[in-house]
Chain A
Amino acid sequence: AQSVTQLDSQVPVFEEAPVELRCNYSSSVSVYLFWYVQYPNQGLQLLLKYLSGSTLVKGINGFEAEFNKSQTSFHLRKPSVHISDTAEYFCAVSRDTNAGKSTFGDGTTLTVKP
């Protein structure tokens, strides 16, 4: 079985500042890794995914994440955040090609302040 730990439940940050949302996972097998964003009263939207290859993955809205196998981490970063990035962010892992069957972390609430 796999598990996901999002290390920060809430991250407040000022507009235009950089941000890092931390995610650690546990799995006995190779996994695929995902970050999703959820705006209030909305479904989840995929930000980016790591399947294989380059450990630095770029996604939508200027976000990127780095897969670190030795540290079993997949932290999400953005160099300069906007007010519109305020949302809930979820890290997820899937152990097979069935990415729809994923294990999610409990989420990190990113609040961008002016």
Chain B
Amino acid sequence: DTGVSQDPRHKITKRGQNVTFRCDPISEHNRLYWYRQTLGQGPEFLTYFQNEAQLEKSRLLSDRFSAERPKGSFSTLEIQRTEQGDSAMYLCASSTGQGLGTEAFFGQGTRLTVV
């Protein structure tokens, strides 16, 4: 399978704990995006990378959230001191970034439940 891969698929954590998610994009894609999707809503943009550079962060990304893409390949999203409001599906997507309206391919997401 050469699609976008996310790990883990599900994570249950206690409030106050730190969690880290991983995203492996399609190999030739240099752009990588993180989104958050809460129940009953559409995905909300969090941040994106071009290669290893983090080019934009949404104001939704509080200081408890940090994302990295150290070698321009896989990316991690860490949430520190989790809160119940962080419970959501975290989606990763990647694209080549070339051409008009280049399609972004989404992974299956990591569902986080904070108890």
Contact = CB atoms under 8 A, between A and B. Distances in A.
A42 B100 CA distance: 26
B41 interface: yes
Nearest to B9: A41
A15 to B, nearest CB: 26
B50 to A, nearest CB: 9
A70 interface: no
A26 interface: no
A52 B99 CA distance: 13
Given A99-B102, A99-B103, A102-B104, A90 B43 contact: yes
Interface residues of A, number: 27
A92 to B, nearest CB: 8
Contacts of B93: 44, 100
Contacts of B101: 32, 34, 49, 51, 94, 97, 99
Interface residues of B, number: 27
A101 B102 CA distance: 10
Contacts of B56: 101
Interface in B69-115: 91, 93-95, 97, 99-109
B48 A100 contact: yes
Given A41-B108, A43-B4, A102 B45 contact: yes
Interface in A14-68: 32, 34, 36, 41-46, 49, 51-52
Contact of A44 (B48, B91, B99, B102): B91
A106 B4 CA distance: 23
Contact of A107 (B42, B99, B105, B108): B42
A101 B45 contact: yes
Interface of B: 4, 31, 33, 40-45, 48, 56, 91, 93-95, 97, 99-109
8 contacts: A43-B109, A94-B101, A98-B31, A98-B48, A99-B103, A100-B33, A101-B33, A107-B40
